[in-house]
Amino acid sequence: MKGHLRKRGNAWELRAYAGRDPVSGREVYRTRSFRGGKRDAEDALARFVQEVAGGHAARDATVGDLVAKWFELARQDLSPSTIIGYEACIRRYIGPALDDVPLDRLRVAQLDHLYAELRSGGGQARRPLATATVRQVHAILRRALQQGVKWGWIDTNPAVLATPPRVRNRIIEPPEPSDVVRLVRAARERDPDLGTFLHLAATTGARRGELCGLHWDAVDLEQGTMTISRSIVDGPNFTLVEKDTKTHSVRRVALDPTTVDALVAHRERCTARLKL
């Protein structure tokens, strides 16, 4: 989409390409005046170009239109599990409440009312939703509406002033080491592979998905180290997807002798299975 900026007296003229006249075939431009510095004028031109590009849709768009368009673009940079979570929030909570609301009529009070309703009984069987889920709904709306501002669909983002519920940190009470030892021992007796998984989780602190994504080439039994760089997450249609770690980082963990022995035994079992 073409756009031009021109200084006219104390103001700037913003010109945005609006297509060709269906009769004459000539290029058609829309114009708008703007007062301010050049950098602000350039930002205003970018928004104006997007507004003209959206045409009728930008002027008459609903909240559902914007959320759908934003999610179509945003999903390219989201992990498979995040996509699944966002899709569920949009389908279950945002869509039924806001899909048909005209974008230019959305107000802060409507968002606060939605959050309150979800907290009081927006879940399955009209049960209250968890605070984290309501905050995820807010995060989706805030990001989508902010994109709407950048595109020139709306002037301000009402979600910025909305009040999602606060997260109250719960006190984590980890099990006693002796209880962990008994759990790992009991698991090993029932299923040696499960026992190894729990042993590795307890001694390295790795996440469940990280342990599921662990390959033998990431384990150095001679040096007693393990490199965590992959993770397995839920994908669409009940599939499993391998990706980088949740924090997008690679870390190396030292293994104690007992853990090394457990991994040696596990590798021997894996090798034996391959020979069957």
Q: Any idea what the CATH number is for the domain that residue 122 is in?
A: 1.10.150
Whether 71 is in a domain gets the answer no
Same domain, 50 and 123: no
Residues 116 and 186 in one domain: no
Q: Are residues 192 and 262 in the same domain?
A: yes
183 assigned to some structural domain = yes
The Cα–Cα gap between 135 and 163 comes to: 10
pLDDT at position 55: 52
* Claim to verify: residue 212 and residue 185 sit in the same structural domain: yes
Under 8 Å between Cβ of 114 and 161: no
Is 181 in the same domain as 113? no
Predicted confidence at residue 56, as pLDDT, reads 45
Q: Does one domain contain both 123 and 207?
A: no
Asked whether residue 169 is domain-assigned, the answer is no
Looking at this protein, which amino acid is placed at residue 194?
Answer: L
The beta strand positions in 101-239, using DSSP E, are 219-220, 225-228, 231-234
Q: For residues 223 and 263, state if they share a domain.
A: yes
Query: Is residue 167 assigned to a domain?
Result: no
| Confidence at residue 58, expressed as pLDDT on a 0 to 100 scale | 55
For residues 15 and 102, membership in a common domain is answered with: no
Query: Pick from 27, 60, 93: which residue ends a domain?
Result: 60
What pLDDT was estimated at residue 172? 83
Closest listed residue to residue 158, CA positions, set 170, 171, 141: 141
Residue 266 and residue 198 share a domain: yes
Neighbouring residues of 35: CB distance < 8 A, sequence distance ≥ 6? 10, 11, 12
Query: Residue 176's beta-bridge partner residues?
Result: none
Q: Count of domains in the chain?
A: 3
The per-residue pLDDT string of the chain (276 residues; one tens digit each, 9 = 90 and over) reads: 578 888 888 899 988 887 766 567 777 788 888 888 888 888 888 878 876 765 544 557 899 999 999 998 888 888 888 899 999 999 999 999 999 999 989 999 999 999 999 999 877 778 889 999 999 999 999 999 999 888 878 888 999 999 999 887 778 888 899 999 999 999 999 999 999 999 999 999 999 999 999 999 999 999 999 999 988 888 777 788 888 877 778 899 999 999 999 999 999 999 998 886
Asked if the structure places residue 202 within a domain, the reply is yes
Owning domain of residue 213: 177-274
Quick one: 187 and 253 in the same domain? yes
For residue 89, is it within any domain? yes
- Domain stop point among 160, 195, 218: 160
Instruction: Decide: 144 and 151 in contact? Cβ < 8 Å.
Output: no
Please indicate, yes or no, if residue 165 is contained in any of the structural domains: no
Q: What is the DSSP letter of 28?
A: E
CA–CA distance, 111 with 59 (Å, rounded to integer): 21
Is 152 inside any structural domain? yes
Regarding whether 265 and 182 lie in a shared domain, the answer is yes
